Structure 1
Amino acid sequence: MFDAALRHIINPPLNMLGARLAAIGVSANSVTLTGFVVGLLAVPCIIYESYLLALILIVVNRLLDGLDGAVARQSLLTDFGGYLDIVCDFIFYGAIVFAFSFASQGNAQAASFLIFSFIGTTSTFLTYAIMAEKHKITTDIRGLKSLYYLGGLTEGAETIATFVLFCLFPQFFVQIALIFGAMCWITTGTRIYAAWVTFKRKG
């Protein structure tokens, strides 16, 4: 919901740093993979309840996730780079929630519900992008991307805000996860409706 608005704030410093990294030969894919590894390091931290360290790793992961696109825009945007970025993002999102299911047995059902909810948001996001490419529908509202980004109530900014809340208030994981999971289903529903409106007359 807030991703497009936040782009105007975060893109200028990211683009500046991205230009410097590209100038010394750092590739966007290497930034993506580094961020992915850093993000996965948060998993054992969460399992062993080192929530502050996990929070730091999550924030670094997200900074690198924004930086890889900035590097790519200064060098070369590739289909594989866009593919790798999305795959790493979705695995990271699921891994963080999965880790909280191990941190406390009481988290397991809420974590399962949230991962189930992620299936709705990710599948509607990706299938819309496939159809948008088929019909040559484009947008740059979230910056120059390798594929169509369909918005919703729960996007990247809201997901990361939720992960921050998980780390700051782990005792309320269940409540936060259930609320965010419900919001994800609202996003899923609105994306299905958007697809129906957009594609119903396109064959």
Structure 2
Amino acid sequence: MLDRHLHPRLKPGLNRLAEMLDRPGISPDGITLVGFAIGVLALPFLALGWYIPALVAIVLNRLLDGLDGALARRRGLTDAGGFLDIALDFLFYALVPFGFILADPQANALAGGWLLFAFIGTGSSFLAFAALAAKHQIDNPGYAHKSFYYLGGLTEGTETFALFVLSCLLPHSFAWMAWLFGSLCWLTTFTRVWSGYLTLSQFSGPANKDAAGPDRP
């Protein structure tokens, strides 16, 4: 919900940083991998209850996630880079709730599981529509800087980042925040499924066999 308002404000600063880093030996994919490696550190930090180091790892991960895209736009977006970016993003988003579960299984297990369950809903609806939107060449002018169609919603990257920051600053409140945010994620999922279905219904004709999935026995 907030991404479309925040991204234009962050873009000039990221572009300036990308210009400084636009040197031989530095690649967008390399920045993606470094950012993910730093983000992975949040898992053991959270499990050990080191919430401030975990917060630093999360912030750096998100900064480098924006920086790799800015550098990629200078050199030309690639499908391989877009795939790597989104795949590692989804892994990162999953490891943070898991870290809170490990930190306090008794207090956080159910709420963290609910949040992960909700992330599967938002992620699957996001990726399923993106794949079919690309097939039908559906434009997405609101997120023209993305490598693929970006279907928005109530809980997007900005809101998820805010949840992670607040959870690190107020770790004892993680459970109720996870229950609340997970519920909002499901509202996003239902909205994406419905709006995606209505959009794709405008394209008549049978789907190809690969897109429809395997035959039933």
Where does 1:141-160 land on structure 2 (aligned, <5 Å)? Answer: 141-160=142-161
Partner in structure 2 of residue 104 of structure 1? 104
Partner in structure 2 of residue 43 of structure 1? 43
Partner in structure 1 of residue 18 of structure 2? 18
Q: Which ranges in structure 2 are unaligned for 5 or more consecutive residues? A: 205-217
CA distance in 1, matches of 2:12, 2:78: 21
Amino acid at match of 1:28: P
Q: 1:98 offset after TM fit, Å?
A: 0.6
Stretches (4+) displaced over 3 A: none
Amino acid at match of 2:35: G
Q: 1:74 offset after TM fit, Å?
A: 0.9
Residue 75 of structure 2 is aligned to residue 75 of structure 1: yes
**Corresponding pairs, count:** 203
Q: Percent identity?
A: 48
CA distance in 2, matches of 1:127, 1:167: 31
Q: Which ranges in structure 1 are unaligned for 5 or more consecutive residues? A: none
Larger radius of gyration: 2
TM-score (norm 1): 0.97
Contact 2:32 2:65 in 1 (8 A): yes
Contact 2:125 2:189 in 1 (8 A): yes
Contact 1:29 1:68 in 2 (8 A): yes
Partner in structure 2 of residue 28 of structure 1? 28
Amino acid at match of 2:200: F
Q: 1:25 offset after TM fit, Å?
A: 3.9
SS of structure 2 residue aligned to 1:108: helix
Q: 1:200 offset after TM fit, Å?
A: 1.2
Q: 1:22 offset after TM fit, Å?
A: 1.8
Contact 2:54 2:168 in 1 (8 A): yes
SS of structure 2 residue aligned to 1:23: coil
**Could you tell which deviates more after superposition, 24-33 or 179-188?**
24-33
Q: 1:24 offset after TM fit, Å?
A: 4.1
Contact 1:7 1:143 in 2 (8 A): no
Give me the CA root mean square deviation.
1.0
Partner in structure 2 of residue 3 of structure 1? 3
